[in-house]
Chain A
Amino acid sequence: MAVAATYPGTPSSEIGTVLERLSEKSGMYFEYSTNEKVALEVGAAAAASGLRSFVFMKHVGLNVASDPFVSLGYVGVRGGMVVLSADDPSMHSSQNEQDSRYYARLANIPMLEPSTPQECKEMLMAGYDLSERLGCPVLLRTSTRVNHARGIVDIGDFERIDREGKFEKDPMRFVPVPSVARAARSRQLERMKKAKELSEVSPFNREEGDGSVGVIASGVAYTYAKEFLEDVRILKLGFTFPLPDERMKRFIASFDRVVVLEELTPLLEERALQLSKGTQCEAQIIGKISGNLPEAYEYSPDTLNALKGLVKVRKGHIPVKCEPIPLPNRPPVLCAGCPHRATFYAVNKALAGQEAIFSSDIGCYTLGINPPLSTADFLLCMGSSVGAAGGFTEATKQKVIAFIGDSTLFHAGIPGIINAVFNDHRYVLVVLDNRTTAMTGHQPHPGTGRSSGRTTEPLDIVSLIKGCGVKHVEKVDPYDLKATIDVMKKALEMDAFSVVVSSRVCPLAVARKGRVVSESKAFAIDQRKCVKCKTCLTKFTCPALAFDGKNVEIVPEICIGCGCCAQVCPKKAIEVPQ
């Protein structure tokens, strides 16, 4: 591939980390785009210019990119184009577990679904051939247990990439005004007919093993079937849109019982049911619709236990019966010295018990949901904090405070800001500017002054917001709690839309560069001054603070010396030891 673009999102982020490293050596152009829609448009233009392009994102990112994605299914491509969606069944790090396979059908774009790391590589290569053969992009649909799986992959040889394309003008193809789009629509359906023929003979749709029960499996669910089911013949489906109907029909007709293993929506199962109708011995189709398997959450080898009595499941070990001891949960927390914690603390202080709706967004700062900070009340998706805050302002008389991170602001926050100005929504927006895309692994964004492997002109957030027409914009350093509280108070008193940019670099990002966060060393608690009120521990909750049952201590290996807890302590008992 010659051009690649993405916006980071788990479980797809590591692809960018690798491409960032490879792009320099290989001659590939790789960029972190401001959001997935832009990334897809970059890739589409490269493919229209005859180059191979690759665009990848998490499943909800494909929602953001869905607008160009669907139309790209009409105009198509010249160079091969593969769009990877990383689904997240069980929502390990997502707000929903939507099934991206619907997008293939919605956009009439062929889809491949790998089951293993090796297959990811093979299907990516095959995806390009398919894309070029059909003249449309191909969706490579993965899921967490494929993306975050490691396995031995035969990589093959690298070739130096020539990335000079040439765009040959053809507005009657690439500008879908209604008359062009109508013609494209029938071409699209012709293309899908051809795609179906290819799916019927694709080596990614193959039968394996021998047994008395038929199993149709796709994605990572195939690995569970292959390893833990016995006496079965498996139809492994990897080219899953369009489905190989004839092949499936023949397969189903040769069994009395067919088990369908796929995560999330029963798409294969629905098709299997349709196809079995009218066959000679309508096979019993076992899956989700039959009530045997769950539709929610990811599968595991243990999911197969629900099939006992219907198919032979390999005998597992007997679990030890441990005494059930109540175990405290360990949800993720904001790191030691996280500037978001300081901002949230200051916001709560400024509110002084007054109630407010906290409209939150996607990033580490969503962890503000946990008490005692409790600064997340409403969240939908990237950028939703800003638009929703406007809605709350108009729908209620409650105070509204919105939080958005810097990367998220660039991604999808700007239209909401313009909307607040345009429609005179009066609330406070706090930009949690930690100078990086922290949650997904510290990828750059337009404010950082770097993109993949090169320096760029950093966008100044305050000027950007002022440029959107916002009159009241203040910038604070959240490590200065008093100043932050004062600025927040002022903003809250204002009967206007106001934006507070709370700016302080993420300590993890600094640590990654091997620099210390603060010149000062770790703080410590002077036990003579400490009155054991535990304010620091219970109100500020920094993980560097520990309680041994008697004293509160600061763990020097964890403390980064931000000094915020020292400002929180009512007795001034926290300081840098002399």
Chain B
Amino acid sequence: MRYSVVIVGVGGQGVMLASRVIGECAMNEGYEVVASEVHGMAQRGGSVTAMVRFGEGVLSPLVPRAGAGLIVGFEPLETYRALSFANKNTLVVTDVERIVPMAVIDGNEKYPDVNCLLEGMTRVGLRVVALDATEMAEKAGTRLAVNSVLIGAASSMPNFPLGHEGLRSTLMASVPERFRKENESAFNLGRKAASKAMR
């Protein structure tokens, strides 16, 4: 078994942390792991992509086209951009909260309708869990816990090889102690919402 996760979002959202949590959890569960990220500009609001691959014999740090088992999107536009990694069995978890790029604010480009993006994904047969992860994170106590919501959601996706207890504890170990409560509850909200949506 080899499993690939593609995580996308906007610089500063916590894409790197999410990739580290999934990678470390896979390692703790005894898988071979390789992950890759480009983060020269990660904190400057640009598109960010991270990849985690685990299983027997994984070596390539990059996921081939159509090779993702799971796509975790922190922002709907970025999720759509990542669909070149999707095949018909790929599962998608995405936040629906938009982060509008500067070119759109300037009026030079248009942000597509989020529902259009989501419909575009389901129309080709992808199974998509679309969450308002930002709102859920706020409910959990801080907007900054979006990544915990999304990791929680990923943990309940069908056939996702990593156990939710492992993910939870790896996540908790990697957030500062003073934010643990918020992140724990964000993880649970994401997990619950995704399992409901998948039913």
Contacts and interface: CB of A to CB of B under 8 A. Distances in A.
Q: Which of B40, B46, B84, B116 gathers the greatest number of chain A CB atoms within 10 Å? A: B40
B27 interface: yes
A145 B36 contact: yes
Classify chain A: how many residues form its interface, as a range.
35 or more
A374 B106 CA distance: 14
Interface stretch (A326-334, A453-461, A522-530): A326-334
A330 B87 contact: no
Given A224-B62, A325-B112, A330-B78, 5 more contacts: A11-B40, A145-B62, A149-B34, A152-B27, A317-B89
Contacts of A332: 11, 41, 44-46
Contacts of B124: 320-323
6 contacts: A150-B35, A223-B59, A325-B80, A326-B110, A328-B101, A547-B100
A27 interface: no
A317 B67 contact: yes
Interface string B61-104: 11111110000000001101101101111100000000011111
A327 B80 contact: yes
A39 B154 CA distance: 44
B58 interface: yes
B116 A325 contact: yes
Contacts, number: 170
B61 A145 contact: yes
Contact of A318 (B43, B58, B88): B88
Q: Which of B39, B83, B110 gathers the greatest number of chain A CB atoms within 10 Å? A: B39
Classify chain B: how many residues form its interface, as a range.
35 or more
A439 B43 CA distance: 9
Given A328-B109, A538-B106, A319 B65 contact: yes
From DSSP, what is the main secondary structure of chain B's interface residues? loop
Contact of A220 (B61, B116, B121): B61
B104 A328 contact: yes
B47 A330 contact: yes
A226 interface: yes
B38 A92 contact: yes
A26 to B, nearest CB: 24
Contacts of B58: 227
A325 B34 contact: no
B80 A322 contact: yes
A367 B102 CA distance: 12
A228 to B, nearest CB: 7
A126 B36 CA distance: 25
Contacts of B88: 318, 320
A318 B66 contact: yes
Given A302-B64, A320-B90, A322-B124, A541 B106 contact: yes
B66 A151 contact: no
A70 B163 CA distance: 53
Q: Which of B19, B105, B126, B143 gathers the greatest number of chain A CB atoms within 10 Å? A: B105
Nearest to B89: A317
A278 B172 CA distance: 63
